Structure 1
């Protein structure tokens, strides 16, 4: 076992790693053809970035505000997203097979909001993921949580299955109520996820040191949209994250809980793919809201 008596935090985060080896995503040039093909359905090959639309909240929250009727709230937004993050139930019941988007399939679950959320199991077989033509599989990782080791085992099991079938795995870093959301924690959680085989990682943006998180992680990082905030603030966070090395955003509540979801998703696309500033993106949002 490694000697923990003189464990020191890393200090050299001067430059974020970029894509190399002829593929548009960092750390993925050595993957099999099928893996790279699926990642190219999540991340736009023209710029290596993604706007994911997350609406998997019901797997532990039930009918979340804005997701009471998926057909009414989500289907109109599908054309503007690069990829859809959802459960297999929502996919089969609501999303047309001809939608043309990369599907990031929620593959872990178990406890509801009434229980300890870190006590998850794998909830989708790799065979069903193949049947559904998933572009990626998403699993929650609770570094520092009550069931940390169990969630890490879920990740590594899914990575093994994904490597055998050509399906990349997205590790989603979960944060408990009593845990500090800072760069040091997210460097730990994202690096562990990447070291254990995740092809890309979803994490939260932090105001101080986010560039050290993206620099230290050898695979792409996508930021979580988080709780609903004002549109200007959500666009500012998306912009800052992209400037500091993120490869995209996975936004849910800040889109489908907006008064103008389609306009908000278009503004987010402007930030991620077109480099719009928060001011320019908000102006776009306002112009499309009328």
Structure 2
């Protein structure tokens, strides 16, 4: 159930019910990789390029606010590392109250639907949404289809993941992309929540923008892409191209051209 506070904060992390969110919580997962050492410059670039919001773990908040150009801020509440025993075993790293204290406009939580850790993550996401409701704080559920024998691009599995997020009380849901607009339409239709897609590992500019175009053609609400944006040679330019598709309904070629990336695509 939405509240005035949730609605107001959703407006801060999106534009007209569509979303260009740049997660940069990867420092806890992968370390200080390209784009995250000087995270201040990256945040400044992507928000100038048209991103509606950036997302980090709570400890990075002091590096965010002065560089986000009055855009939205989301604090992520669980995590794991690539060098630990199981990257899919996301553990709690913060609370909704802590997110409020560091100036967040929303919180996010990662759940691997179909994994061995699904039961604990279901319980934790339910607790996060209950807590967030008390504070009028939106919840972005990062609901992936990941587990033994699961195809992470299967639209049926992705549809199950996004529906689970709605059933547990999330306000926005992020998931993987099924590969084309036609199959992704099933995912979007599986929930009434706004659906945004993850980017995964960095591809070519054209691959990135074609994927964004596909999710919008399927009725999706935008993107929550990390490495495809913050590891780009020009984060501001690729954010401009993505925003052009999400917010201005540009074609792939129009978006690349507007961002000055047509020759690099």
- TM-score normalised to the size of structure 1? 0.83
Q: Distance in 2 between matches of 1:172 and 1:87?
A: 14
Partner of 2:9: 38
Distance 1:259 1:121, change over 3 A: closer
Superposed CA RMSD in Å reads 2.1
Q: Distance in 1 between matches of 2:232 and 2:63?
A: 24
1:186 matched to 2:158 = yes
Secondary structure in 2 aligned to 1:268? helix
1:103 matched to 2:73 = yes
Partner of 1:268: 242
Q: Distance in 2 between matches of 1:51 and 1:123?
A: 24
Partner of 2:61: 91
Please tell me whether the aligned partners of residues 55 and 252 of structure 1 are also in contact (alpha carbons under 8 angstroms): yes
Please tell me whether the aligned partners of residues 121 and 154 of structure 1 are also in contact (alpha carbons under 8 angstroms): no
Max radius of gyration: which structure?
1
The Cα offsets for residues 48-79 of structure 1, whole Å up to 9 and x where unpaired, read as: 11111221111221112332221233333223
Q: Which residue, 153, 162, 175 being the options, matches 1:203?
A: 175
Secondary structure in 1 aligned to 2:201? coil
Deviation at 1:119, TM superposition (A): 2.3
- TM-score normalised to the size of structure 2? 0.90
Q: Distance in 2 between matches of 1:72 and 1:97?
A: 7
The Cα offsets for residues 1-56 of structure 1, whole Å up to 9 and x where unpaired, read as: xxxxxxxxxxxxxxxxxxxxxxxxxxxxx511011111111121xx3111112211
Aligned length: 259
Deviation at 1:110, TM superposition (A): 4.4
The Cα offsets for residues 227-283 of structure 1, whole Å up to 9 and x where unpaired, read as: 100001100110110110111111221122222221111111110111100011121
1:66 matched to 2:35 = yes
Please tell me whether the aligned partners of residues 35 and 168 of structure 1 are also in contact (alpha carbons under 8 angstroms): yes
Residue range with higher mean Cα deviation, 247-256 or 193-202 = 247-256
Q: Which residue, 157, 168, 172 being the options, matches 2:142?
A: 172
Return 5+ residue gaps in structure 2 as ranges.
Answer: none
The Cα offsets for residues 140-185 of structure 1, whole Å up to 9 and x where unpaired, read as: 1111101101111110010010011111111102344753021011
Distance 1:189 1:165, change over 3 A: same
Secondary structure in 2 aligned to 1:74? helix
Q: Distance in 2 between matches of 1:169 and 1:289?
A: 38
